[in-house]
Amino acid sequence: MAATWIKSIHAGGGRGIARVITARLNYAMNPGKTEGGELVTGYACDPRTATEEFLLTRREYDYIIGRTQANGDVVLYHIRQSFKPGEIDAETANEIGRKLVLSFTKSRHQFIVATHTDKAHIHNHIIVSAVAVSCDKKFRDFIRSGRAVRRISDLLCLEYGLSVIENPKPSKGKNYAEWLGEKASSWQEKLRQKIDEILPSCATFEDFISTMKAAGYKVNDKRKHITFLALGQKKPTRLNTLKGDHTEEAIRERLSGARIITAGGASGGQTLVAAPIFTQHAQPSQVSFLIDIQSKIREGKGAGYEQWARIFNLKEASKTLLFLKENGIDNYEELVKKSSSASGDFAILTKKIKAAETRMEEISALQKHIGTYGKTREIFSRYKKSGYSEKFYEENRADITLHRAAKKHFDDLGYDKDKKLPTINSLKQEYAMLLAEKKKMYAGYHAAKKNMQALAVAKGNADRILGITAETQSRDTSRAQTLSNTHER
């Protein structure tokens, strides 16, 4: 199971953009929670300089669109993805988190994936820059974006053979009559509802206390038993009097993942099931896998299901035969060869596209840093002449920080006195050439993918129809080799 949520992080209220970015990234990349930083990966940024690079992207965006920060402006998106205890290792969790956000943002935004191992359950904190890598637009949160994140996460969990939540029941909004009923309910019930509402967005118990205060509750956590007092409430409610899933101990367990509360409550709601591990044949296609009749009958589907499955199998066998005829494939060896060839061609094409995209990202980052370096060079020169004055530094902190980040980026790429920086014009030309090449490759990408999937599924169906298994394939290969050697003698 991967329980996920997404939360927008705003500036304003005394918190500037730099402070917001620094606080969130520091929390996510905490070395004590990420095996000394080994479980932190970045996209379009280096985790070591992510704060400066996120800030640089934001400043470029403000410069391009010609505006300044507005109060309440969205700076980041924070995605949390929690996995079932004991079911996954930290490296795989980090890999899944990276694939999740690449799919969700369509690879257009900088992000950091930090996998935490300090709780009973392994979980990812993903911090995404609201500004696109191109610096000319921002990600706009949309209705049911949380559902979109959960769907991508579930698909990835299925791909990796992890548990998923079956039949999730999202929380429903309240109409006026329901609101009146809640208004008439007890203070304890209101407190329970508020805890359930805010707890998914909290990472620690301290976060929970702070969020409850921000929600209007007066919290006394200095005594043995924590109390909450809502606006208009005369007598505070002790947390431990709520019992069940809302005591201090229970809340701490829910935050750590030791206690899972389903959408329908402790007594019902979502059910966790182990997802099957899909092979490469389980690809969406016009030709799908044949149904295993015997296994379904053993599950108690009955005679009616058996009849339906037989008819379905005949239809799928017919589809496979038609596909093979249309593609001029008249023997099994040719099918295997074409399927293998299509997979190899698609892998090569994908690798070339990824290489082009990687270089384009490097060029974009280099262009930004060259521009920033030029804009901040004068300030940094004056800073050096001041004898690295602390006062001058505080007055020009942002420019000096960005200048140093740009210089570090150049150093990491090996640019020094012997190796000069490329010109902006040469980088633009290379980027345009790569973009044209990428568009050309993408023209055949979807057709190649569709062909590979169709052949893979057709082969899977043919194997099932003919009763061919990995064991029989190995035996046939050995027999063919033996015959070949005999003929040679």
Tens digits of residue pLDDT in 383-426? 999 999 999 999 998 889 899 988 888 888 888 767 888 888 99
- On whether the CB atoms of residues 124 and 152 are closer than 8 A, the answer is no
Instruction: Report yes or no on 276 lying in a domain.
Output: no
Domain that holds residue 185: 176-261
- CATH (domain of 31): 3.30.930.30
Does residue 136 have a pLDDT over 50? Answer: yes
Question: In total, how many domains does the chain have?
Answer: 3
Q: Which residue has the higher pLDDT, 188 or 111?
A: 111
Distance CA 286, CA 279 (A): 17
Neighbours of 214 (CB within 10 A): 10
Residue range 104-131: average pLDDT?
92
Tell me 284's DSSP state: -
- Shared domain for 385 and 239, answered yes or no, is no
Q: Which of 166, 192, 221 marks a domain boundary?
A: 166
pLDDT value of position 457: 79
Instruction: Report yes or no on 25 lying in a domain.
Output: yes
Neighbours of 415 (CB within 10 A): 16
- Shared domain for 107 and 189, answered yes or no, is no
- Shared domain for 181 and 155, answered yes or no, is no
What whole-number percentage of the chain has pLDDT above 70?
74
Does residue 10 have a pLDDT over 60? Answer: yes
pLDDT value of position 286: 45
- Shared domain for 111 and 254, answered yes or no, is no
pLDDT value of position 98: 95
Does residue 298 have a pLDDT over 70? Answer: no
Instruction: Report yes or no on 273 lying in a domain.
Output: no
- Shared domain for 77 and 105, answered yes or no, is yes
- Shared domain for 375 and 470, answered yes or no, is yes
- Shared domain for 120 and 38, answered yes or no, is yes
- Shared domain for 161 and 181, answered yes or no, is no
pLDDT in tens, 21-53: 999 999 999 999 999 999 999 999 988 888 888
Does residue 351 have a pLDDT over 50? Answer: yes
- On whether the CB atoms of residues 136 and 125 are closer than 8 A, the answer is no
Residue with tokens 């993903």: 126
Instruction: Report yes or no on 271 lying in a domain.
Output: no
Does residue 294 have a pLDDT over 70? Answer: no
Instruction: Report yes or no on 266 lying in a domain.
Output: no
Query: Average per-residue pLDDT in the chain?
Result: 77
Residue range 279-302: average pLDDT?
43
- Shared domain for 443 and 362, answered yes or no, is yes
- Shared domain for 227 and 302, answered yes or no, is no
- Shared domain for 205 and 352, answered yes or no, is no
In order of 108, 308, 349, the CA distances from 144 in angstroms are 20, 36, 34
Residue range 103-113: average pLDDT?
93
pLDDT value of position 231: 85
Instruction: Report yes or no on 267 lying in a domain.
Output: no
Residue range 253-262: average pLDDT?
68
Instruction: Report yes or no on 430 lying in a domain.
Output: yes
Q: Which of 261, 292, 320 marks a domain boundary?
A: 261
Buried/exposed 228-240: b ≥16 CB within 10 Å, e otherwise: bbbeeeeebbbbe
Residues in the chain: 489
Instruction: Report yes or no on 268 lying in a domain.
Output: no
- Shared domain for 136 and 236, answered yes or no, is no
pLDDT tier at 379, thresholds 50, 70, 90: very high
Does residue 212 have a pLDDT over 50? Answer: yes
| Overall pTM > 0.75 | no
Distance CA 29, CA 39 (A): 9
Q: For residue 411, give the H/E element and its range.
A: helix 397-412
| DSSP string for 56-89 | HHHHHHHHHHT--PPTT-EEEEEEEEEE-TTS--
pLDDT value of position 128: 96
DSSP reduced 3-state for 46: coil
91-100, 306-315, 350-359: which range is least confident on average?
306-315
- On whether the CB atoms of residues 115 and 43 are closer than 8 A, the answer is no
Q: Which of 111, 142, 166 marks a domain boundary?
A: 166
Q: What is the Cα gyration radius of the chain? A: 29
Q: Structure tokens of 272?
A: 């966790």
